[in-house]
Copies of this chain bind each other. A is one copy, B any other.
Amino acid sequence: MEPYKELIGKFQEILKENSLKMTKQREIILQTIYEYEGHFIPEGLHKKVQESYPELKVGIATIYRTLQLLESENIVTSISFGANGKKYEYGGKDHHDHMICNKCGRLIEFCDDTIEKQQEKIAKKARFKIVNHSMQIYGICQECQENKK
């Protein structure tokens, strides 16, 4: 995975290009996301940031504003859950999709070239310009199948 140094350099470039400023908050948020294992929700990120840097009193609004910025730059990606908000993850890994367990909520990652290529074909036919895509398979994960009660 991309080293943190590279990531923050890329972020600084993006900021410069858009006449935005590098702040302590943005740096901490980026770092916390980079170090986050797996998927997270804005509130969880907020708690982690507050725990690590209580003296800064980072507000939840800043978390949301920064996530918006990072998502628009494809540094993080998100999956929506209707009224239940979004889950985010750091996007520096390879592209992948998710299987989502209906019982325990776990996200299992996968990626598949055949599907990726097929998507491109479909979009081309409809003259649809792909920006992004996501695919979810819902069901029951192996563990929950075994723990059935």
| Interface-facing stretch out of A8-16, A18-26, A45-53, A77-85 | A77-85
In the complex, residue of chain B having the shortest beta-carbon distance to the beta carbon of A114: B118
In contact, A134 and B135 (Cβ under 8 angstroms)? yes
Q: Is A108 an interface residue (CB 8 A)?
A: yes
Write 6 A-B pairs (CB below 8 A) sorted by A numbering: A83-B86, A127-B145, A128-B142, A130-B137, A132-B139, A135-B136
Q: How far is the CB of A121 from chain B (nearest CB, A)?
A: 8
Residues of A within 8 A of B (CB): 78, 80-83, 85-86, 99, 101-102, 108, 110, 112, 114-115, 118-119, 122-123, 126-142, 145
Given the complex, which residues of B lie within 8 Å of A101, measured CB to CB?
128
Report copies per complex.
2
Given the complex, which residues of B lie within 8 Å of A108, measured CB to CB?
126, 128
Q: How far is the CB of A104 from chain B (nearest CB, A)?
A: 12
In contact, B126 and A99 (Cβ under 8 angstroms)? yes
In contact, B137 and A119 (Cβ under 8 angstroms)? yes
Given the complex, which residues of B lie within 8 Å of A128, measured CB to CB?
99, 101, 108, 137, 139-142
Given the complex, which residues of B lie within 8 Å of A136, measured CB to CB?
133-135
In contact, B115 and A142 (Cβ under 8 angstroms)? no
Given the complex, which residues of B lie within 8 Å of A82, measured CB to CB?
78, 80-81, 85-86
